[in-house]
Amino acid sequence: MKIKFCGGVQSVTGSCHLITIGNRKLLLDCGQFQGSKIAEKLNYEHFGFSPSEIDFLVLSHAHIDHCGRIPLLVKYGFRGKILCTDATFDLVQIMLRDSGYIHEKEAEWQNRKNIRAGKPMVAPLYTVKDAEDSFKYFEPMVYGETKQLCDEIKIRFKDAGHILGSAITEIFAREDNRNTKIVFSGDLGMKDRPILRDPETIAEADIIIMETTYGNRVHPENLKSVDALIDIILKTTARGGNVVIPAFAVGRTQELLYDLNRFYEESSPDYREALSKIKVYVDSPMAVTATEIFRRNSQVFDEETKEYIMKGDHPLDFPNLVFSKTSEESLAINFNNEPKVILSASGMCEAGRIKHHLKHNIWNAKNAIVFVGYQAEGTLGKRIVDGEKHITLFGEQIYVNAPVYNLEGMSGHADRDSLLDWLSGFKKKPNQLFLVHGEAQSKLDFADLVKAKLGYDAIPVNEVSEYDIIPGSGSAEASEAAEKHVDNSDAQASREDIIEMREKMYKLHEDFETLLYNASLAVDGKRISKEHAEEINNILLNLEKGVVNLGSDVLLEKRND
Ligand SMILES: [Zn+2]
């Protein structure tokens, strides 16, 4: 068994790792390189393996640095299965279509220049059509479901709490009669973040591959960052300025809406009065669609958010919120003089409408620019955060005169302490711990911390490289024999498994009661909105699908007995 790190090793983008188990090849993520021009050139380079040889691709979440090269993989011959959670599949479709569109536009722009310079034409990295061609290979799963991919490989997704649909992957591999459990963290989120559940802890693994984006940094508390954001909004708009927030269209934008909504709900009447006069613009067509997808996937929200919905308040909506979809609506934002908040993508200021908003606002000291997410080396966002005074936008030099704030506490990435906390959840020392997805220093510092606190050696992966996997100690034969004799204690479901299932049943029972209650309100009188009735109907349809599938599985098993 081998693992080859093909991307997401020198920096945080281009995540891509290849595991070979027997004669099966399983890829973890297939991300796009982002940031500097040099990084982006890597997207055109060879994958480091032949796409047609890959049997399975496991996708941890829908961020472009994890999924952005999937259309290329398919274009160059991949014909296997792509496994991810159902919410990830919903999001990945808009992400990849949008990415294809950006590549088409970039090539068009480059070609206009090339014609004038007498240079040859370039082709886009991939097109919208390429993106759509890749969708048929996806097989979405739900969290907690165990899926046998082939004789040698079984996988299961746990919630990573990083963005909607994000997953930690457990891989149960079998080779040469040995069982090995590999855990891939994907990107991990912070605990107690809005909307999402906390990252799940995993008790056992022979091999761990984990991210270290913030391997040497500790975030301030999120609540403090939300307070700071509200302060900045009130202060800036009071002096007649705009607050510009570069934010990932998927994830960060929805979390900000949630935080703002909660603040409106829970703050004093004075605050609410002041805030209700300030319009909040979400200026990104993708954010509008992504917000819809969030609303459709409320089954994976945390309890607090579900309660909001049950109370009839939509957590991603408030009265002065304006979505702008068309480019005319987007342009109009910069031509009205009212002080306002503008949320726009991309989060690292590399592309999209945010560049226009920066051009219109960053030169003026009365406005404010607020960063709420990770800024990779080489990006425009990173240069602004680092205090560069002159930036270039659309070929024009612009002076950075507006105050720039960096609210790291709102990051969707676990910080150093949370990463260590997650790692401490494993009950025994893994055979190998690979650190990926972080700047070099971050990985080195985190490896030192792991040695000091947990006493074992981590491997910081800093270049494209291959390692032999040290297999687990469990013999496949023994566990197979155990499976046949259920009285053997090894083969029985653990006490924890049973408790977990029982809790799920209780929870489902409660959900059904609430659902029935709401549905009966809907049927009896006109006490709930059409939108809610539709939502209930959708939930019912999905539950029905689940129950029917479960029913047919049980029936099939009975027949085969
Ligand atoms: Zn991510």
To the nearest 10 degrees (0 to 180), the angle between helices 252-266 and 222-238 is 80
- Separation of 13 CA from ligand 1 center, angstroms? 9
275 vs 186, more confident: 186
Q: How much is the average pLDDT of 172-181?
A: 93
Q: Is the pLDDT of residue 496 over 80?
A: no
Q: What is the mean pLDDT of the chain?
A: 86
Query: pLDDT class for 267, splitting at 50, 70, 90?
Result: confident
pLDDT over 90 (residue 135): yes
Give 37-91 pLDDT, tens digit per residue: 777 778 888 888 999 999 999 999 999 889 999 999 999 999 999 999 999 999 9
The pLDDT of residue 1 is 95
122 Cα to the center of ligand 1, angstroms:
29
320 has pLDDT over 50 = yes
- pLDDT of amino acid 169: 98
Query: What local confidence, expressed as pLDDT, does residue 541 receive?
Result: 64
Q: Report pLDDT for 54.
A: 97
What pLDDT score does 486 carry? Answer: 44
Distance 440 CA to ligand 1 centre (A): 18
CA of 196 to the centre of ligand 1 (A): 14
Cβ 99 vs Cβ 32: under 8 Å = yes
- Backbone Cα Rg of the chain: 25
Distance 540 CA to ligand 1 centre (A): 31
Ligand 1 centre to CA of 62 (Å) is: 7
Q: Work out the percent of the chain whose per-residue pLDDT is above 90.
A: 54
Q: Which of 40-54, 184-198, 246-260, 307-321 has the lowest mean pLDDT?
A: 307-321
pLDDT surpassing 90 at residue 158? yes
Angle at 157 between CA 156 and CA 160, to 5 degrees: 150
pLDDT given at position 546: 60
- The conformation of residue 52, written as its DSSP 8-state character, comes to G
Helix, strand, coil percentages in the chain from 3-state DSSP, rounded to 5 = 45, 20, 35
CA of 238 to the centre of ligand 1 (A): 35
**Is 203 or 410 the better-scoring residue by pLDDT?**
203
How much distance in Å is there from the Cα of 343 to the middle of ligand 1?
Answer: 19
The alpha carbon of 206 is separated from its chain's Cα centroid by a whole number of angstroms, namely: 25
Can you give the pLDDT at residue 524?
62
pLDDT value of residue 540 = 67
- pLDDT level of residue 7 (50, 70, 90 thresholds): confident
Greater model confidence, 49 or 474: 49
Q: How far is ligand 1, taken at its centre, from the CA of residue 33, in Å?
A: 13
The angle formed by the CA atoms of residues 12, 14 and 20, to the nearest 5 degrees, is 110
Higher-confidence residue: 260 or 504?
260
Please check whether residue 198 is in contact with residue 261, taking contact to mean a CB–CB distance below 8 angstroms: no
Calculate how far, in angstroms, residue 422's C-alpha sits from the geometric centre of ligand 1. Answer: 17
545 pLDDT above the threshold of 70 = no
Angle at 374 between CA 370 and CA 376, to 5 degrees: 115
Centroid of ligand 1 to alpha carbon of 414 (angstroms): 11
At 219 the pLDDT is 85
Q: Give the integer Cα–Cα distance in Å for 491 and 383.
A: 55
CA of 154 to the centre of ligand 1 (A): 24
Per DSSP, helices labelled H in 195-282 are 222-238, 252-266, 269-276
- Measured in Å, residue 472 CA sits from the centre of ligand 1 at 29
Q: What tens digit of pLDDT does each residue of 103-130 get?
A: 999 899 899 999 999 999 999 999 999 9
Alpha carbons 233 and 273: distance in angstroms, whole number: 14
pLDDT at 457 exceeding the cut of 90: yes
Q: How far is the CA of 522 from the centre of ligand 1 (A)?
A: 39
Q: Ligand 1 centroid vs 63 CA: distance in angstroms?
A: 5
Distance 455 CA to ligand 1 centre (A): 28
Between residues 489 and 78, which one has the greater pLDDT?
Answer: 78
155 with 171: CB under 8 angstroms? Answer: yes
Ligand 1 center–CA 361 separation, angstroms: 28
pLDDT score for 281: 95
Residue 554 has pLDDT above 70, yes or no: no
Write out pLDDT tens, residues 235-252.
999 999 999 999 988 888
Instruction: Count CB neighbours of 110 within 10 A.
Output: 14
Q: What is the pLDDT of residue 238?
A: 94
Q: What is the pLDDT of residues 368-388, one digit of tens each?
A: 999 998 888 888 999 999 999
pLDDT at 246: 95
Q: Report whether 483 contacts 490 (CB < 8 A).
A: no
| Whole-number pLDDT of residue 549 | 52
Return d(Cα 177, Cα 22) in angstroms, integer: 11
Q: What is the Å distance from ligand 1's center to 74 Cα?
A: 22
| Cα 360 to averaged position of ligand 1 atoms, centre (Å) | 29
Q: How far does the centroid of ligand 1 lie from the alpha carbon of residue 461, in Å? A: 18
Cα of 311 vs centre of ligand 1, distance in Å, is: 31
Residue 512: band (very low, low, confident or very high) from pLDDT cuts 50, 70, 90: confident
| Segment 466-483 mean pLDDT | 72
Residue range 276-301, pLDDT digits in tens: 889 999 998 888 888 888 877 877 88
Q: For residues 367 and 338, is the Cβ–Cβ distance under 8 A?
A: no
pLDDT of residue 488: 44
Name residue 473's beta-bridge partners: none
Question: What confidence tier does 530 reach under pLDDT thresholds 50, 70, 90?
Answer: low
**Who wins on pLDDT, 487 or 86?**
86
Q: What is the reported pLDDT for 499?
A: 77
pLDDT value at residue 481: 53
Determine the distance separating the centroid of ligand 1 and the alpha carbon of 61, expressed in angstroms.
7
What is the rounded distance in angstroms from the CA atom of residue 69 to the CA atom of residue 211?
19
Write a three-state SS string for 15-46.
Answer: CEEEEEECCEEEEECCCCCCCCHHHHHHHHCC
- The alpha carbon of 262 and the centre of ligand 1 are apart by a number of angstroms equal to 24
Dihedral of the CA atoms 43, 139, 85, 545 (nearest 10)?
A: 160
DSSP symbol at 345: S
**What pLDDT, on a 0 to 100 scale, did the predictor assign at position 560?**
52
Taking the centre of ligand 1 as the mean of its atom positions, its distance from the CA of residue 146, in whole angstroms, is 23
Distance 162 CA to ligand 1 centre (A): 7
Mean pLDDT of 436-463: 94
Checking if the pLDDT of 308 tops 80, the result is no
Q: What pLDDT band is residue 232 in, cutting at 50, 70 and 90?
A: very high
Over residues 388-440, the pLDDT tens digits come to 999 999 999 999 999 999 998 788 889 999 999 999 999 999 999 999 998 89
Residue 187 Cα to ligand 1 middle (Å): 5
Cα–Cα dist 18/15, whole Å: 10
Å from CA of 193 to ligand 1 middle: 15
